[in-house]
Amino acid sequence: MPDIINLLPENIANQIAAGEVIQRPASAVKELLENAVDAGATEIKLFVNDAGKALVQVIDNGKGMSETDARMSFERHATSKIKNIDDLFHIKTMGFRGEALASIAGVAQVELKTKKAGETVGTYIEIENSVVKLQQPIAMNEGTNISMKNLFFNVPARRNFLKSNASELRQIVDEFIRVAMAFPSLFFSLTSNGQEVFHLEKGNLKQRIIQILGNNYSAKIVSVNEETDYMNIYGFVGKPETAKKTRGDQYFFVNNRFIKSAYLNHAVMNAFSEMIPKDSFPMYTLFIDIDPSRLDINVHPTKQEIKFEDEKIIYAFVQSAVKHALAQYSVTPTLDFELDPSIQQSEAVSQPFTSEKQFSATGSSLYNTFTKKNQAHFIDSKSDLGTWNDNLLKQNNLEPPFPKDIKDRMEQENFSSASFKNSQQAKTNKKPVSEEYLQIQKSFIAAENENGFILIHQQNAHERILYERFTEALTGKPIAIQRSLFPTAIDLAPADAVLLVELLPDLNILGYQVEPFGNNSFVIQGSPADVADGNEKDSLEKILEQYKHFNMDISFSKREKLLRSMAWQQSIKAGTFLSDKEMEALVEDLFNCNVNNTTPNGKPVFLEFKKDELSKMFGR
């Protein structure tokens, strides 16, 4: 059997955006799973111990490697997947840089067992700190079994930089899901510390979505399927009613590669506009198949960002395809799959990708930034690509995704500049003077104070009160808990289960007595006294959703996000009738808060109407 791995010539190696391949256990998971897929495996098993810090192991039944290739695979720029610069524009495999195994071997202890079809013995190699410790023949079945042990054992500073096990495991699950979702016809499993977390039988895409995201989607997804000469789009989107407060369940794959693209996400969101509430996110799992020469995946070391030859066309296709799917299932009344004629006639659709274009792509500043800056071992987490999507949007005169969302938040943060200036002091002297309150529209409470009267927003007020109460609980002031008479079971999608485990210690202090029950199930034994009996499950689910919503905002700590999510979730909503006693308690609690005039997110809690100003308005 011939060997297949070659060293890339230096000029090609230098053009590849290699960057820092292994940053955490999840990066190794991604690389090893992708190698197994590229090797044509039909069964791929992932094992992790200690959230991958102690062990990341992938066993596949793919084509294996010869003895020479096994040894070669750890060399930098050693790959069987491309040979020349042209190949960079026709990539059909997940890998192409010949970097991953070399990087892994540089920061961990690695054991590789591999056997090629038709060979009698396999090869066993132990490598540590890039040095081969042992190489010998081994008897085994066809395929590859590779273990990465003690990541960063030789770079303690980086090891210390890793996050908690719960957090690293969650990232592993994310990477696992991205690969497993892209290849539903392959078997995947994930076992963490000896416990099988995922067991995904071979099937079709719909089955895979349900295996991963949960059964509640089974009757609630709509298939998207459009084929054109330029590209195909297929996959599923959730019906509008399944939209959630979180962006979690959104997947885009281009030629089976998971990508992050605010731009394409915007296209889907546009197709859903008016059908879902703002601030909510529909599920989607969409695949774009396109001639690889029409894109450049070599723009980012993790390959999760790509550059399309013509983004506008892709945008229009994605948006129309999703609209069309929603219309066909009469989820929306309009049918709108006519492509803009200017796009149909545009050069990119009708003309092949010429060598000039290829040259101009590789000569672009974007390409150069990447190829120069992100060489192997260049460690810089703030890559220039952060602004890539912004530039795209600018070039195409598009609004950034969720402009309202971001604008709202900015406004909240700069709230002091607005008309509520004088209510900005942390503690105000606006306190009501009498205990007679009037509830208006089941949403506001009017109360007289020294200067005139204040109008309190009941939900915002309660959010502030709960936020301070929860903050105190975390610093040791116990919270009132009710034990459930009948413990409630709660089943979660695997990724949510991992998240819940991460939050359990804090949730416990905050009054949720929840215990893992195995198999992504939990039992709620008790909940904060404020939560109405029977609502424990619902309220916990909503907290998770809200938390994931906040999760996009990296400026908050995990605890802060949890506190805010819980305060928001448990606050009495506008539209709830309040008795005199309840209003009294609410106002008293509010004016005992450290800050009483804004919610944790900066929304006003009350407005003051001064007698003098009111008189003036009446011409007095």
Binding site for Mg ion (CB under 5 A): 35, 95, 100
Residues 66 and 157 sit within 8 Å (Cβ to Cβ) = no
Residue 233 to residues 228, 322, 455, Cα–Cα distance (Å)? 9, 9, 52
When asked if residue 52 is in the footprint of ligand ATP (CB under 6 A), the reply is no
Backbone angles phi, psi at 497, to 5 degrees: -65, -40
Q: Rule CB under 6 A: choose which of 35, 171, 460, 565 binds ligand ATP.
A: 35
Nearer to ligand ATP among residue 132 and residue 585 (C-beta): 132
Which residues in 310-369 contact ligand ATP (CB under 6 A)? none
Residue 66 structure tokens: 């010869």
**Partner from Mg ion, ligand ATP, none contacting 550, C-beta within 5 to 8 A by type:** none
# residues near ligand ATP by CB under 6 A: 25
Print the binding letters for residues 61-100 with ligand ATP: x by CB under 6 A, - otherwise: -xxxx-------x----xxxx-------------xxxxxx
Q: Rule CB under 6 A: choose which of 36, 447, 544, 587 binds ligand ATP.
A: 36
When asked if residue 511 is in the footprint of ligand ATP (CB under 6 A), the reply is no
560 three-class SS: helix
When asked if residue 39 is in the footprint of ligand ATP (CB under 6 A), the reply is yes
Provide the minimum distance between the beta carbon of 279 and Mg ion in the complex, in angstroms, as a whole number.
38
d(CA 60, CA 37): 8
263 three-class SS: helix
**Partner from Mg ion, ligand ATP, none contacting 80, C-beta within 5 to 8 A by type:** ligand ATP
Q: Rule CB under 6 A: choose which of 15, 23, 61, 144 binds ligand ATP.
A: 144
Closest residue to ligand ATP, based on beta-carbon distance: 95
**Partner from Mg ion, ligand ATP, none contacting 65, C-beta within 5 to 8 A by type:** ligand ATP
Residue 330 to residues 326, 334, 587, Cα–Cα distance (Å)? 6, 8, 48
Closest listed residue to residue 145, CA positions, set 177, 105, 115: 115
Q: Give the helix/strand (H/E) hosting 365.
A: helix 365-373
Print the binding letters for residues 398-437 with ligand ATP: x by CB under 6 A, - otherwise: ----------------------------------------
Closest listed residue to residue 264, CA positions, set 279, 252, 249: 252
Provide the minimum distance between the beta carbon of 198 and Mg ion in the complex, in angstroms, as a whole number.
21
**Partner from Mg ion, ligand ATP, none contacting 469, C-beta within 5 to 8 A by type:** none
CA atoms within 13 A on the CB side of 203: 14
Residues 448 and 610 sit within 8 Å (Cβ to Cβ) = no
Q: Rule CB under 6 A: choose which of 31, 168, 249, 296 binds ligand ATP.
A: 31
Residues 339 and 320 sit within 8 Å (Cβ to Cβ) = yes
Residues of the chain by 3-state class (helix, strand, coil), percent to 5: 40, 25, 35
Provide the minimum distance between the beta carbon of 179 and Mg ion in the complex, in angstroms, as a whole number.
12
Residues 428 and 596 sit within 8 Å (Cβ to Cβ) = yes
Provide the minimum distance between the beta carbon of 272 and Mg ion in the complex, in angstroms, as a whole number.
35
